[in-house]
Amino acid sequence: MSAIVNKPGQMLWFFLLGGCLIAAAAAAGYSFMVGHEQAFNVTRGVPWGILIATYVFLAISCSGLCLISSLGHVFGFEEFTLICRRAILLAILCLMGAFGAIGLDLERPFNMIYTLLSPNFSSAIWWMGTVYGVYLGVLVIEFYALMTDNHKLSMITGSLGFLFAIAAPSVLGSVFGLTLARPFWHGAFLPVYILITALVSGTALISMVMYFQHALRGLEMDEKDRRVIRLLGRILRLMLFVLIFSVFWNIIVGLYGAQPGHYEPVKALVSGSLSANFWLGEIVIGLVVPLFLLMRKNRTPFSTMMASLMALIGMFFMRYDMTVAGQIYPMRQGAKGLTDGLFTYSPSVSEILIVIGCIAFSALVYTLVEKFLSLDLESEHHSQATPDNS
């Protein structure tokens, strides 16, 4: 351990992540021993809970990271070549964390082997699992090509990764959008909305990593690094503007049409049981404050990092609210367990610990890879100095 951790701050970081993983493993073991019905707060009325929301959050973050990475080694924007290796590594780990979340949500995850033995080509969920499975393989090969400076292979896999980065969240959105029985999800809007949020999540995540990999390692940002963070901030600002209009019109359509099954979830978001999540988590933390920080003329790398962190928190609230709001309207009359005509859901301690564990896993593996492998394209690119906390 002493060879891996040589600073008190790093030791604390590793102990924190390790503790989260142990707690998550205990929660997962408990859920398999007593059964998901006892360990999780999902019900027949709301069968998808925070673990599915976490899966969606991490999976679309993976796609956003790939889209940002492709600007460098696929489309030739030189500034973004500096972040290609880190972005693809983060994409792999986000997708692995997503698989962990959805796998632990299933009471018998090993039964998924039957999806390979007996595929259902008419199932959107089957296509989602297959596309993301192939996507992970492409990302691993792409990361290998980038680490070995195999430009031809990285161009091929990067181009494939770009296509999958668009197709995968679209297929994921179709799992929700093709569900006719859930009017809040149903429609062509959701796949496009998820693609927009993928860009927000991916841009925010790589901006944070770009900042912290300098600050925590005591490396000074040169002009190239600052330029990359400025460009990432501009992309994030643009996507947040687009997302604001998407959220606005989704709410307006839901309220104006008053369609049963769509109107009630929207009301729950605006003034009901999910209103605190929506107004504080999504709007204030996820959209308004990040935009304020990104629109300042004297924006610094630190303010871009803070805007990215808050945008990521907002994206998680969006994934949670989207998942839960689509299920709270009962599909049949006389359903039990309703409050004001709607189902309610709040995650259990076991679910929360597993969510933290999935995120901690991705963070821990990334930290280890960052420590043992050179993810910089130029080994002499940085000079040891006091971290830039501006």
Query: pLDDT (tens digit, 9 = 90+) per residue, 224-260?
Result: 888 889 999 999 999 999 999 999 988 998 898 788 8
Choose the most confident range, by mean pLDDT, from 115-119, 149-153, 184-188, 212-216.
149-153
Choose the most confident range, by mean pLDDT, from 154-158, 178-182, 315-319.
315-319
Choose the most confident range, by mean pLDDT, from 75-79, 199-203, 384-388.
199-203
Query: Residue 371 in contact with residue 4, Cβ under 8 Å?
Result: yes
Length of the chain measured in residues: 390
Closest listed residue to residue 69, CA positions, set 210, 184, 186: 210
Query: Residue 293 in contact with residue 228, Cβ under 8 Å?
Result: no
Average pLDDT over residues 65-76: 87
The percent helix, strand, coil of the chain (3-state, each to 5) is: 75, 0, 25
pLDDT tens digits for 198-229?
Answer: 999 999 999 999 888 877 666 677 788 888 89
pLDDT at 382: 42
pLDDT at 279 over 90: yes
Q: Give the helix/strand (H/E) hosting 168.
A: helix 151-177
> How far is 114 from 98, CA to CA, in rounded Å?
20
How does residue 107 score in pLDDT terms, banded at 50, 70 and 90? confident
- Measured CA distances, 313 to 201, 358, 365 (Å): 9, 16, 21
Poorest-pLDDT segment among 89-98, 253-262, 316-325: 253-262
- Measured CA distances, 222 to 86, 302, 387 (Å): 18, 14, 11
pLDDT at 381: 43
Average pLDDT over residues 47-52: 94
Amino acid at site 273: S
In the numeric block, the tokens 């005591």 are attached to: 218
pLDDT at 385 over 50: no
> How far is 92 from 302, CA to CA, in rounded Å?
26
pLDDT at 304 over 70: yes
> How far is 326 from 144, CA to CA, in rounded Å?
39
pLDDT at 6: 54
> How far is 75 from 51, CA to CA, in rounded Å?
35
Q: Give the helix/strand (H/E) hosting 52.
A: helix 50-73
pLDDT at 1: 42
Average pLDDT over residues 267-275: 93
Task: Please give the angle made by the CA atoms of 22, 24 and 26, to the nearest 5 degrees.
Answer: 70
DSSP single-letter state for residue 219 = B
Average pLDDT over residues 24-33: 94
pLDDT at 174: 86
- CB neighbour list of residue 316: distance below 8 Å, 6 or more residues apart: 53, 54, 57, 281
Structural domains of the chain, ranges and CATH numbers in brackets:
8-110+119-277+319-372 (1.20.1630)
Query: Residue 313 in contact with residue 289, Cβ under 8 Å?
Result: no
Burial of 313 (0-12, 13-18, 19+ CB in 10 A): middle
pLDDT at 9: 66
Start-to-end CA span in the chain (Å) = 32
pLDDT at 54 over 70: yes
Average pLDDT over residues 89-99: 95
Average pLDDT over residues 192-200: 91
pLDDT at 300: 87
The SS3 of residue 342 is strand
pLDDT at 177 over 90: no
pLDDT at 187: 80
pLDDT at 80: 84
pLDDT at 334: 63
Question: Distance between alpha carbon 256 and the CA centroid of its chain, in Å?
Answer: 31
How does residue 114 score in pLDDT terms, banded at 50, 70 and 90? confident
pLDDT at 317: 96
pLDDT more than 90, % of the chain: 54
Average pLDDT over residues 118-145: 89
85, HSE (Cβ side, Cα atoms, 13 Å): 18
pLDDT at 386: 41
How does residue 188 score in pLDDT terms, banded at 50, 70 and 90? confident
pLDDT at 377: 65
pLDDT at 147 over 80: yes
pLDDT tens digits for 333-370?
Answer: 667 767 778 889 999 999 999 999 999 999 999 989 98
